[in-house]
Copies of this chain bind each other. A is one copy, B any other.
Amino acid sequence: MGQKLYSGRFTKDISPITTEITQSISYDRQLYAQDLAVSRAHARMLYEKNILSEKELASILKGLELVEREIEEGKLVFKPELEDIHTHIENRLCELIGEDGKKLHTARSRNDQVAADTHLYLLQEARRQKKDLVALLETILDLAEKHKTDLWIAYTHLQVAQPVLLSHYLLSYFWAFHRDLGLLDYVIKEADRCPLGAAAVGGPNYAIEPELTARLLGFQKTYENSLDAVANRDYQLNYHFFASRLCLHVSRLCEDLIIYNSLEFGYVQMDDEITTGSSIMPQKRNPDLAEILRSRSARASANLLSLMMNLKGLPASYNRDLQEDKIYLFDNIKLTSEVILGTKELLEHTRFLPEKVEINLEKGFAQATDIADYLVSHYGLPFRQAHELTANLVRYCEQQGKTLRKLTLEEIQEVWPQQYQFDKELLDLTQSPRRRGGSMSTHPNEVEKQLEKAKQSLIAHL
């Protein structure tokens, strides 16, 4: 090339270091398909509005097809001095079809063009991810169904808290990801508007019809205001927030599974498909997939921050700073796709071992709440007092190194001077969930209903 772009007013070329720093072709080439789609729709609109002739339209559409083929066959050479994908495509178009090509940029600017490309790209990716997210939710449902009545440990503070159903535990993540599905719907709805027609900043000097371009591209709406159309990055912030929130949920699930997968917990076993060995320690089976997935919330949140900080204090409308938005966006879209697919893979290759938890529920005195509540309901004690009595019993067991189930009547009476007593079946952990009440609880009947509700909630998204 050698010639400065849009250079009528300039006498010198841009310097090499400036070219290197300001070019975006090294990353925005990913938008080529969207850029071609946007150009086609724009050309068609111009034709409908009598701004292009039928012949010019045909020539442009033919030329764009040729360019598309060249890109897909890897024949178009990308050069930093041509800055971005828009210029590459348009330049090549002009080389191929001559004067007609130069008419394509009528009534538009790179400002609204790149905005349109990016909206389109984000929408397509978000819709694809929605399908993957629904598939992940189905995987969780299947797992919950499979372990519907199995016993599991609910932790708080990473301390054994109470026996719950494994399905109940699994469903807690279903609802978190289900909220992300709702957020993704918001992301999609907000991105579903076409900025093409804003031109540089104030609208073009032509009687165009943005609604038509929007329709041709499949958008629901246009923007209301040209300044806003080239300035707005909310739709990207929304996506980054979705990515961050989803990845945070994944990070918590992975933390659980990494801990449960330790030798000491041993409550899950991960398949060879998702674990790797050590180059030095022959006995290792490391939960690598879960660890990488856990880490991803860091990058996802950092991409959100990056766009926020970029936008902070920027003057209205378009500033070149905004160009870097695509770096964060492409990174987050790719990593989030991997995270959704990877989490599904993780769950499909992790075997939950409910048979391992009961002994630790015993050791963790997980019946304590049941005993306290029994004292309340049977003897009318205030809960606070029942709590105190039970705690004394637990302390006694600890000192004696025994579980609650091993206590003799004599021991209980020793600790409790009162004539309080309880039936041994109160200590049957498998019965504990049945004592819980209320729709959110881990009572088997409630979990059954919860499972049904979860299934129904997915149908709307299928």
Alpha-carbon separation in the docked complex, A241 to B244 (Å) = 11
Complex Cα distance, B111 from A182, in Å, reads 25
Asked, given contacts A245-B237, A315-B256, A369-B282, whether A205 binds B309 with beta carbons under 8 Å apart, the answer is: no
Knowing A11-B272, A176-B232, A258-B158 are in contact, say whether A384-B442 is a contact too (CB < 8 A). no
Q: CB-nearest residue of chain B relative to A255? A: B313
| A458 close to B (CB within 8 Å) | no
Q: Is A264 in contact with B360, judged by CB distance below 8 angstroms?
A: yes
Interface majority SS (helix, strand, loop, mixed), chain A? helix
User: Given contacts A225-B172, A306-B298, are A314 and B255 in contact (CB under 8 A)?
Assistant: yes
Q: Is the CB of A373 within 8 A of B314?
A: no
Q: Which residues of chain B are within 8 angstroms of A320 by Cβ–Cβ distance?
A: 157, 286-288, 291-292, 295
In the complex, chain A residues 374-410 whose Cβ is within 8 Å of any chain B Cβ: 374, 376-377, 382-385, 387-395, 398
**A266 contacts across to B, CB distance below 8 A:** 264
Query: Which 5 pairs show the lowest CB-CB distances between chains A and B?
Result: A8-B391, A203-B441, A102-B382, A6-B277, A291-B320
Segment of A17-25, A71-79, A116-124 engaged in the interface with chain B: A17-25
A window 244-292: CB within 8 A of B: 244-245, 248, 251-256, 258-259, 261-266, 271-289, 291-292
Contacts A15-B274, A294-B313, A382-B102 given: A441-B204 contact, CB under 8 Å? yes
Once A9-B282, A272-B10, A280-B387 are accepted as A-B contacts, the answer to whether A211 and B439 lie under 8 Å apart by CB is: yes
CA distance A315 to B295 in the complex (A): 13
**Of A32-40, A62-70, A193-201, A417-425, the one with at least 4 CB within 8 A of chain B:** A193-201
Q: Which residues of B contact A341 (CB under 8 A)?
A: 17
Q: How large is the interface on A (under 10, 10 to 19, 20 to 34, 35 or more residues)?
A: 35 or more
**Looking at the complex, which one of B8, B229, B365, B440 makes contact with A392 (CB distance below 8 Å)?**
B8
Which residues of the other chain, B, contact A86 by a CB distance below 8 angstroms?
Answer: 279
Q: Return A122 CB to nearest CB of chain B, in Å.
A: 15
A208→B306 CA distance, assembly (Å)? 44
Which residues in B have their C-beta under 8 angstroms from that of A433? 202
Partner of A207, one of B258, B317, B360, B438: B438
Tell me which of B18, B154, B265 contacts A274 (CB under 8 A): B18
From the candidates B293, B312, B446, name the one contacting A309 in the complex (CB within 8 A). Answer: B312
Contact B159 A262 (CB under 8 A): yes
Set of chain B residues within 8 Å of A203, measured between Cβ atoms: 436-438, 440-443, 446
A161 touches B201 (CB 8 A): yes
B369 engages A200 (CB within 8 Å): yes
Other-chain residue from B278, B328, B439 in contact with A224 (beta carbon distance below 8 A): B439
**Nearest Cβ on chain B to A8's Cβ, whole angstroms:** 2
The B-contacting residues of A in range 219-251, CB under 8 angstroms, are 222-232, 234, 237, 241, 244-245, 248, 251
Is A138 an interface residue, CB under 8 A from the partner?
A: no
Residues of B within 8 A of A245 (CB): 234, 237
A358 interface residue per 8 A CB criterion: no
- Say whether A172 contacts B231, CB under 8 Å: yes
- 15 cross-chain CB contacts under 8 A: A7-B391, A9-B398, A15-B274, A161-B200, A161-B284, A163-B202, A179-B232, A202-B436, A226-B442, A252-B313, A252-B314, A263-B363, A296-B324, A298-B306, A299-B327
